[in-house]
Amino acid sequence: MDFDRTASAAYLANLLAKAASRALQARADGAGFAPGQFPVLLELWNGDGLTQRELLDRLDIEQATMANTLARMQRDGLISRRRHPSDRRAQLIFLTPRGKALRETAMTAASQTEDALFQGFRRFERELLLEYMRMLLANLGRDPRV
């Protein structure tokens, strides 16, 4: 049985994710963050002081990947860590002034990337595709609102 990757939603979704990540990186070049850090930044811009566990749960990222991402973000001066007041094993993660200052640049780059992705689409086509993507995620047991 042959596998036609051009007819595979999973294969095309993977390709699209990589291309979108590269497009975001190109638009944010020199801004001071990597595309893999963008989801973490989004969560922290919505309210920092989260634990690594909370970020893992919200972003569905592997523990090792999250640990490496946070270590790099701390090294680059985007986040700081503080002891959790009631859990000696946990640390709270906060944005530094540098991490907070990236928001406008990052959001502009993300918006431009979205515009590029949907170039030539009519509004209803864009909304329909997004709804189909949420349905696909739900079919795989992933909450599409997360």
pLDDT digits (tens, 9 = 90+) for 3-53: 888 889 999 999 999 999 999 999 988 888 888 899 999 999 999 899 999
- What gap in Å lies between CA 136 and CA 140, rounded to an integer? 7
Q: What is the pTM of this model?
A: 0.84
At 52, which amino acid appears?
Q
Helix, strand or coil, per DSSP, at residue 81: strand
At 115, which amino acid appears?
D
pLDDT at 84: 86
pLDDT digits (tens, 9 = 90+) for 45-62: 999 899 999 999 888 889
Q: What band does 144 get if pLDDT is binned at 50, 70 and 90?
A: low
User: In this model, does residue 146 exceed pLDDT 60?
Assistant: no
